[in-house]
Amino acid sequence: MFDTLSFSMNAVLPLVLLVVIGYVLRQKNFFTDDFLSTANKFCFRFCFFSTMFVSIYNIQSFDPKYADLVIFTIIALFSLIAIGVIYAMIFVKDPKQKGVMAQAFYRSNYAILGVPLVMNLFGENGVPCAAFVLACTIPIFNISAVILLSVFIKNENNKISLVSIIKKIAQNPLIEGIALGFVCQLLRPYLGGWTLKESNLRFVYRTIENLSKITTPFALIILGGQFKFSAARHLLPKITVAVFFRLIFAPCAGLFAAHMFFPHFGGPEFAALLPLFGSPAAVASAIMANQMHNDGELATQIVVWTTLLSGITIFILIAVLRAIGIF
């Protein structure tokens, strides 16, 4: 039990402390508002592009034995998206908060916690499961987020423009990174084994890879600098709903559904699904909300509070799964 608690805290506390560092530096006036705004743009346009490209580029060939896991992941994510959209349309009045709340229901920090969590639980045996779940989640997370953060915001003519939404999807740096990664994947079989990371042009790949490595710590420090405890009071009802659905409803419903409909799933599959449903809100969700003129303050609050509380909920989830014999 102590090992479970120790693992949960060690998985989450490094993220929390980076937020704290950003918050303290802003309070000490080491960061200015102009710097945080510029840093936010840099992270959105370049760092997240690099992260998406590297994540897709490094996926190995598809193994049919993981088809059930991929199918379940896709169905589960679209189900959570539907629930989030319905909730936002009925209960959220501010258009700038609708997309933010909707993505809180499904968009987890899988890119950061997914593979490390699986490796801690099952070692290399679980990594393929996490890799295929990651391959599904990256396009779904980001394309749906662009749509949700666009569709509720009216344009200058007070009309929702399908063309403008498609344009935003095409021009979004995260989507561009995903698209470039998939293009490289499609071309790989026709290049005689040539890869960017092992060729004479590997300096290009390493540059992109280095940018991807700073994405998470840099983004969390920025979020810490933008975080305001005073804002939590008037946003508390929405923060509470987001925390409940992200850390309690999504993992309980998702893991229960996996057990009911795919009883042959074992420990590695559940280890791959646990961070998909139970990890805190994605750091990119707040960065994107800020850059796409949604309620960035609410998005930041959701990321910070779900990150702070996820150490407890992940510990409980792992403990329960161990108690019933899955782990």
Q: Each residue of 219-232: pLDDT tens digit?
A: 889 888 888 887 77
- Per-residue pLDDT band for 290 (boundaries 50, 70, 90) equals confident
What pLDDT, on the 0 to 100 scale, is given for residue 2?
A: 67
- Taking Cα atoms as reference points, which of 40, 30, 42, 12 lies closest to residue 222? 40
d(C-alpha 318, C-alpha 327), whole Å: 8
Share of the chain above pLDDT 90, in %: 34
CATH number at residue 280: 1.20.1530.20
Q: Which of 36-45, 52-61, 254-263 has the lowest mean pLDDT?
A: 52-61
What does the H/E/C string look like for the chain? CHHHHHHHHHHHHHHHHHHHHHHHHHHCCCCCHHHHHHHHHHHHHHHHHHHHHHHHHCCCCCCHHHHHHHHHHHHHHHHHHHHHHHHHHHHCCCHHHHHHHHHHCCCECHHHHHHHHHHHHHHHHHHHHHHHHHHHHHHHHHHHHHHHHHHCCCCCCCCCCHHHHHHHHHHCHHHHHHHHHHHHHHHHHHCCCCCHHHCCCHHHHHHHHHHHHHHHHHHHHHHHHHCCHHHHHHHHHHHHHHHHHHHHHHHHHHHHHHHHHCCCCCHHHHHHHHHHHHCCECHHHHHHHHHCCCCHHHHHHHHHHHHHHHHHHHHHHHHHHHHCCCC
Q: pTM for this structure?
A: 0.81
- Per-residue pLDDT band for 156 (boundaries 50, 70, 90) equals very low
Beta bridge mates, 108: 281
Helix axis angle for 127-151 and 48-57, nearest 10°, is 140
Q: Which domain holds residue 280?
A: 2-323
Q: What's the rounded mean pLDDT across residues 185-207?
A: 82
d(C-alpha 5, C-alpha 318), whole Å: 9
CB 11 within 8 A of CB 120: yes
pLDDT higher than threshold 90 for residue 298: yes
What pLDDT, on the 0 to 100 scale, is given for residue 299?
A: 93
Instruction: Give me the number of domains the chain comprises.
Output: 1
Most confident of 63-67, 149-153, 154-158, 228-232: 149-153
Beta bridge mates, 316: none
Greater confidence (86 vs 199) lies with 86
CB 306 within 8 A of CB 247: yes
CB 239 within 8 A of CB 305: yes
d(C-alpha 93, C-alpha 97), whole Å: 8
What pLDDT, on the 0 to 100 scale, is given for residue 84?
A: 95
d(C-alpha 321, C-alpha 165), whole Å: 41
Q: Could you report how far apart the first and last alpha carbons of the chain are, in Å?
A: 13
pLDDT higher than threshold 90 for residue 302: yes
> If you average pLDDT over every residue of the chain, what do you get?
85
Q: What's the rounded mean pLDDT across residues 195-224?
A: 86
- Per-residue pLDDT band for 135 (boundaries 50, 70, 90) equals confident
